[in-house]
Amino acid sequence: MENRENSTRAGVLARYGARLPLTKDTPMISLSEGSTPCIPAPRLAATLGLSSLYLKFEGMNPTGSFKDRGMVVAIAKAVEEGATCVICASTGNTSASAAAYAARAGLSCLILVPKGKISKSKLLQAQMHGATVVSVGGSFDTALSLVRSLGAAYRVAIVNSINPYRIEGQKTAAFEIVDELGQAPDLLVLPVGNAGNITAYWKGFVEDKAAGRIPSTPRMIGGQAAGAAPIVLGHPVESPETVASAIRIGNPASWKQALAALGESDGIIDMVEDEDILSAQRLLARAEGVFCEPASATSVAILGRLLSENRLPRDSSAVCVLTGHGLKDPSVEPHGHSSIDFDGDLAGLAKACKLVPL
Ligand code: AN7
């Protein structure tokens, strides 16, 4: 057998196990998660007027989102601790990831989702992996409070990001950026929903600095959707609404930790309108060839907003985290796109397609 121990294909536990809370009894589960590309985005950088921009494309993870990094650790620890059933609330990606890793580890999986509010593809993933799916009236926040109640009274391991192993696994994305770029960027830009990921990135960079791998940490820049922006507004949002269903969250579990990361890093959190999220998504797809889901494009949208308002220096280097793949949410309209019907006329077709004759 090939030696996969140090390969980037070996997954998060093998690659960063020394910096994770593993023991000799932790099973080395892997679906080859992590080691996602940091893609240079020169056209987008020029459009935004920024000196350097990379896209950390987390949509390249096995279930199509960043959740796999934390889930592999949470599931491995659940197995180690003797769990047979895991449970989570989700806007979609956490449930897809939990279902896949539970299947991989031979655990049963129970998922609570806001009824009618998650993308069909994400629901399909959970169902294909054999999870039990419960639809809950209300928002993600209602589902998460039910999960907390069930976790307190029944033999189930909670794998939401209130589980600290999730944060441990997700911090490895910060390690990868440092390992790949040889340094931390000036700005780390990401969408903020339940606020687990901003907490995790900050933890990763702080650990890298403490270990002497980087001289300084980046400023953490968070984006929320205007209809679901509790941290920006400073109070919970009762009925969050946004086209970016992944971050339709009104009362983030890691609110305090997010504020700490923002404060300690001289960071900024602000909000963007849905139309700006969707145009950032199209810009990424058309200018750079990278297709991410709407929630993920919030990172580029907030970066654009802050630069246009001169709230960030243009000579900064930035990494935008694209948290999930575009195929995750097929409800989005390819605005301004029209396909052409072929009616049997080849010359007419060539003309309609603006082809130049030989
Ligand atoms: C694509 O799946 O909360 O701030 O239940 O799927 O760490 O919550 C998803 C969140 C950003 C926000 N981008 O991250 C869930 C869930 C995508 C996401 C976020 C999510 P956090």
Query: Hey, which bits of 38-197 come out as E strands?
Result: 38-40, 52-57, 85-89, 108-114, 132-136, 157-158, 187-191
3-state percent breakdown (helix, strand, coil) of the chain, nearest 5:
45, 15, 40
The residues, ordered by sequence, that sit 6+ positions from 233 with a Cβ below 8 Å of its Cβ are none
Nearest CA residue ID for atom 10, ligand 1: 246
In eight-state DSSP terms, residue 106 is T
Residue whose CA is at the smallest distance from ligand 1 atom 5: 90
Q: What is the pLDDT at residue 26? A: 98
- Dihedrals φ, ψ of 220, to 5°? -90, 120
Top mutation candidate among 57, 67, 146, 166 for ligand 1, by most atoms within 8 Å of CB: 67
Ligand 1 test: best mutation among 56, 136, 197, most atoms within 8 Å of CB? 197
Å from CA of 112 to ligand 1 middle: 15
Given the CA of residue 92, which atom of ligand 1 is nearest to it? 2
Exposed (0-12), middle (13-18) or buried (19+): which is 36, by Cβ within 10 Å?
Answer: buried
Model pLDDT, residue 335 = 73
> Position 91: which residue type?
T
Q: Which of 55, 56, 91, when mutated, tests ligand 1's pocket best, judged by the most ligand atoms within 8 Å of its CB?
A: 91
pLDDT of residue 2: 46
DSSP-derived secondary structure letter, 229: -
How far is it, in rounded angstroms, from Cα 313 to Cα 305?
12
Angle 274-283/294-308 helices, nearest 10 degrees? 100
In the reported structure, the alpha carbon of residue 133 is separated from the centroid of ligand 1 by a whole-number distance in angstroms of 18
Q: What are 136's strand-pairing partners?
A: 114
Q: Could you report the per-residue pLDDT of 253-292, keeping only the tens digit for each?
A: 999 999 999 999 999 999 999 999 999 999 999 999 999 9
Residues within 6 Å of ligand 1 by CB: 65, 90-94, 161, 191-197, 246-247, 293, 295-296, 323-324
The CA 277 to ligand 1 mean position distance, Å, reads 15
Q: Look up residue 284 and give its DSSP letter.
A: I
What pLDDT is attached to residue 336? 72
How confident is the model at residue 5, as a pLDDT?
57
pLDDT, residue 23, reads: 98
User: What pLDDT is recorded for position 8?
Assistant: 76
Number of the ligand 1 atom closest to the C-alpha atom of 195: 4
Say whether 219 sits in a helix, a strand or coil: strand
pLDDT mean values, one per 10 residues, the chain (358 residues): 63 97 98 98 97 98 98 98 98 98 98 96 98 97 97 98 98 98 98 98 98 98 98 97 97 98 98 98 97 98 98 98 97 82 95 94
Distance 213 CA to ligand 1 centre (A): 28
pLDDT at res. 148: 98
Q: Which two tokens stand for residue 29?
A: 């589960």
> What SS3 state is found at 3?
coil
Alpha-carbon distance 281 to 306, whole Å?
A: 17
Nearest CA to ligand 1 atom 9: 246
Cα→Cα distances 282→58, 298, 302, Å:
17, 12, 15
How close is the Cα of 138 to the center of ligand 1, in Å? 17
> Within 13 Å of residue 104, how many CA atoms lie on the same side as its CB?
23
- Cα 21 to middle of ligand 1, angstroms: 23
Q: How far is the CA of 103 from the centre of ligand 1 (A)?
A: 21
* Confidence (pLDDT) at 1: 43
Residue 8: both structure tokens together:
């980037």
Residues 171, 204 contacting (CB under 8 angstroms): yes
Residue 4, pLDDT score: 52
Q: Which amino acid is at 244?
A: A
State residue 188's pLDDT score. 98
Closest CA to 97 of 160, 144, 52, 40: 160
- pLDDT score recorded for residue 269: 98
Judge whether 97 and 67 are in contact, CB under 8 Å.
yes
